[in-house]
Structure 1
């Protein structure tokens, strides 16, 4: 299907320069994966801690719902910061290169996460504690705003056109790997030191561990090759001098549809993980370990789901996979929350696995879909703005779900309805994506 008129205005510049070396493509995709794994490790640490300990450590209140909502509001603040980071790092990535910006963002994410692990609590420094936590969360959100988009772009632009869905799915594996590391870190600390010590200080160890992980990620990422498409732009002098203005004025349709396509993979995930951890521990009175184990097992299964869905995107096109994944998630939305509400450990864990696996189907190909919406010279900016705008909405999902649950007598229905609505929005985006995407020979939309 042909590109839309609005998109055609931003398609100048080389779209398929030269012959891509697939061995290089593999190395670049794996290097991008290492960085996104650290990104999501750091981010998932915060979301899990927001549900488990931040409400008591930094937002002291006699009402657990008030503390939880304050904690989730801090989570949401980071998502609000992400589009700002997307504007800044996206524009820089389109001007100076993908590789340079990816080094900056990964350092920002790792350092801030380590500092959170060292931050004194409310009982130690009073109101300064939550203020500093919010400030660190904002800095983390700014860095994350430029990280995922750059990682998936450099993987796609170094990959053969016909296999972009496969290589774009590799950085997505950073999500379950980060979950495994973060949930495993929390689960391990709970097992080693017990819940009282975990609540007091044990939760800090996985945060501080981000520092040595950052050093490893920096070394691996330093081996990245710059995108051949961006290098061709630099050589021809065709880089975009005002990428933000170009994207916002000429590609607003792509941004809106792209946001919907990414919504389930981001917002749905935080609903099934962060919100369900809170709902299970505070409303259903289930032990921390059960919910963390559910997150851990769901992440393991998600790895295989992402690889499979990436191959399906290569075979059938990303838009079809997004459509199918959205429909599947809508179908299981209510059954998943019905199972969670039983408080049966086996059913709760199975529900978390099914929920995360299903929403991972569209998430696997979201990198392919979003990069296809924008021309090379504005791609970093376009993808960053689109994905992070979806992230803003997603960041409020746990907060909204918690507020609605409290207002409806601790009923699970708000969570189920939110998942259903988000799933339908993502499914509908799959219908509109092909008409808005840039045509490239060998690429299925």
Structure 2
């Protein structure tokens, strides 16, 4: 353990413990499956927001107005995430990581299925977008406690020297969720054609969340509770007011942690959700091409996450975040130039490279964030930090769309990606001084 900073004392009686790595692998796998479903459900919404929600739920003669209404609904879910982070984070620090993870995954899965059954504007009028927003809020609340809990339970079940490796596994749920969601839309487009897809085919991937939920629940029911949290419970040292403690004593950790997570969340939505809209509505590219780019980017992202996780284990999460942010800043403008070329190969290549590079800091963000907070307030701290970053990220496609509508150019997207990359890179400089643990740098 490194020296403790103000507000980050760790009272865990399990600082030195023997770890059964076979259990670690099972927990990491269960966390991965859960986050894959989480991101499948969440990315379904982001892709649908770019492709169909503007026509199904937000009727307007101006496509930019309809798109902004659709992306605003996307942003509403992100606004709900910190509230869910406060609620589920505090509960996770009081009653346990596993119990809360069972609740959040049910909430996410059921809401996604209901969105697939929701009548559109032409059927029930204004009630359609209102109900969509309501469901999105509930989904955002549940997501607010899901990712942070999955990463924490994976980290707390892992050997300290291998935490970067195992913390990267739940992150792979993001590209898997992207592949499943974009693949679902791509497959439906191929099977039923554009007109049937717009009419009803888009609903099938949402409804498929229900059977996927059943599988995820079975796997997650076999999850082992964090030994660190169990030790806190046995010793009676759990935090009774984790929210107050984190906000009072760890606000520096929250601010720096937010910046470290911005690129992996906001940058991803920029290269996927916004680019899908920009490509189809402004560049007049076929939806299938943009979905193919998203699929290939997600597939290669898995390799990037595994590699970056190993680099975090070798060099430390803060260095990976620093240099990953720098790399993303360097490629920000070239990526959008490639997309703006309208050349199918360059468009797909731009999306693939953009997602792969911004995934480097994302791979180790779980390690970095969990190292910022003591065990007894870790769920609360990580949930607040990651979800506040998520709020900012949720508005990225909306802001980019508004700016593009004003000047009909790709430059707003490129500049936003550049700024977010620089903020994430800068956070890598401050993380070591604020962390209560080494971020995997043991070799």
Please classify the TM superposition score into its range, dividing by the shorter chain length: over 0.9
Structure 1 residue 383 and structure 2 residue 382: aligned? yes
Correspondence for 2:421 among 413, 420, 423: 423
- Structure 1 residue 444 displacement after superposition: 5.4
- Structure 1 residue 338 displacement after superposition: 0.5
Distance (Å, rounded) in 2 between the aligned partners of 1:404 and 1:364: 30
- Structure 1 residue 18 displacement after superposition: 2.0
Structure 1 equivalent of residue 152 of structure 2: 153
Q: Are the equivalent residues in 2 in contact too, given 1:17–1:228 (CA < 8 A)?
A: no
What SS does structure 1 have at the residue aligned with 2:58? coil
- Structure 1 residue 137 displacement after superposition: 0.1
Q: Are the equivalent residues in 2 in contact too, given 1:98–1:227 (CA < 8 A)?
A: yes
- Structure 1 residue 16 displacement after superposition: 2.0
- Structure 1 residue 388 displacement after superposition: 0.1
Distance (Å, rounded) in 2 between the aligned partners of 1:344 and 1:361: 26
1:110-121 paired onto structure 2 within 5 Å: 110-121=109-120
Structure 2 equivalent of residue 239 of structure 1: 238
Q: Are the equivalent residues in 1 in contact too, given 2:183–2:295 (CA < 8 A)?
A: yes
- Structure 1 residue 17 displacement after superposition: 4.5
Structure 2 residue ranges without an equivalent (≥5): none
Q: 1:37 to 1:200 in 2, by over 3 A?
A: same
Q: 1:226 to 1:17 in 2, by over 3 A?
A: farther
Distance (Å, rounded) in 2 between the aligned partners of 1:305 and 1:311: 10
User: How many residues matched?
Assistant: 443
Q: Are the equivalent residues in 2 in contact too, given 1:99–1:224 (CA < 8 A)?
A: yes
Distance (Å, rounded) in 2 between the aligned partners of 1:444 and 1:169: 16
Q: 1:66 to 1:31 in 2, by over 3 A?
A: same
1:289-438 paired onto structure 2 within 5 Å: 289-408=288-407, 410-438=408-436
Structure 1 equivalent of residue 28 of structure 2: 29
What SS does structure 1 have at the residue aligned with 2:377? helix
Q: 1:402 to 1:444 in 2, by over 3 A?
A: farther
1:39-438 paired onto structure 2 within 5 Å: 39-408=38-407, 410-438=408-436
Distance (Å, rounded) in 1 between the aligned partners of 2:155 and 2:15: 11
Distance (Å, rounded) in 1 between the aligned partners of 2:215 and 2:369: 29
What SS does structure 1 have at the residue aligned with 2:7? helix
Q: 1:441 to 1:195 in 2, by over 3 A?
A: closer
Q: 1:319 to 1:444 in 2, by over 3 A?
A: farther
Q: Are the equivalent residues in 1 in contact too, given 2:322–2:361 (CA < 8 A)?
A: yes
- Structure 1 residue 7 displacement after superposition: 3.2
- Structure 1 residue 305 displacement after superposition: 0.3
* Residues 41-85 of structure 1 deviation map (CA, whole Å, 9 limit, x = unaligned): 000000000000000000000000000000000000000000000
Distance (Å, rounded) in 1 between the aligned partners of 2:289 and 2:385: 35
Structure 2 equivalent of residue 7 of structure 1: 7
The alignment's C-alpha RMSD in Å is 1.3
Runs of 4+ in structure 1 deviating by more than 6 angstroms, as ranges, are none
TM-score (norm 2): 0.98
Distance (Å, rounded) in 2 between the aligned partners of 1:328 and 1:374: 28
TM-score (norm 1): 0.98
Distance (Å, rounded) in 2 between the aligned partners of 1:27 and 1:5: 32
